[in-house]
Amino acid sequence: CAHCKHVVVRTDRGLQSAGRVADVVFSDSSLAPGDHGAFQGRSFEVHGRLVLQHPAGGTWEEYYTVFDGRYPGWIAEAQGRWYVMQEVMASVPPLAQLPPGTAVPIGAYGQFVVRERNQGTFLSAEGELPFAAQPGTLRLFVDLDAATGACASIDFAEGGSPRVYIGVETTFDQLAVVARGGPRPEQRVG
């Protein structure tokens, strides 16, 4: 909720507060719910934003996005790099079998190599998301690269099946953001 800063989970039985979250800090290139753009000929709108913390201390952001008005996907920014990802249906090995350097075939999408196996902690969220992002929750993930330039990410949610995402690395300029949704806080430098 933008007003009270609580994560509100909507279920088939009503609404439930999952706790208060910190304000999301903006950078010059941050996306936010309501932003519109186009990537590789497809329009998109940002619906939600997550901030996660890496165990080494850094943070990254993930933006829940709807492409062409109906296809959900994600745009992520980590260490100054931008990624556009779409969920695909593919079977993958269990997390324990995916240490860095492991070759992993992902269905018709080809051969990938594990770059990182780690966890992120949900710090903050805003907008609409397809799952409950309760602050402090851990998310186990594996990031992979392919020789073709494609990238992949596998999320291992507790109690659920792994979710596989395939995409590409891009730049903020290539996202062609044409409309910024909502005001950005002013940053004053003394």
Strand partners, 42: 39
Cβ burial, residue 2 (10 Å; 0-12/13-18/19+) = exposed
Residue partners of 85: CB distance under 8 A and separation at least 6:
73, 74, 75, 76, 151, 153, 165, 166, 167
What's the pLDDT score for residue 127? Answer: 87
Output the average pLDDT for the chain: 85
What does the angle CA 108 – CA 112 – CA 116 come to, to the nearest 5 degrees?
Answer: 140
Return d(Cα 93, Cα 91) in angstroms, integer.
7
Coil vs helix vs strand at 175: helix
What's the pLDDT score for residue 166? Answer: 97
**Predicted TM-score (pTM) of this structure:** 0.81
What's the pLDDT score for residue 27? Answer: 47
- pLDDT tens string 15-32: 666 566 555 554 445 888
Task: Give CB contacts under 8 A, 24+ apart, made by 50-59.
Answer: 50/122, 50/124, 50/125, 50/129, 50/133, 51/24, 51/25, 51/122, 51/123, 51/124, 51/125, 52/120, 52/121, 52/122, 52/123, 52/139, 53/120, 53/121, 53/123, 54/118, 54/120, 55/118, 55/119, 59/123
pLDDT-derived band at 120, boundaries 50, 70, 90: very high
Residue 136 has pLDDT above 50, yes or no: yes
Query: In the chain, what are the helix, strand and coil shares in percent, each to the nearest 5?
Result: 5, 50, 45
Residue 10 has pLDDT above 50, yes or no: yes
- pLDDT tens string 92-117: 999 999 999 999 999 999 999 999 99
pLDDT-derived band at 133, boundaries 50, 70, 90: confident
Least confident of 2-11, 75-84, 101-110: 2-11
What's the pLDDT score for residue 14? Answer: 64
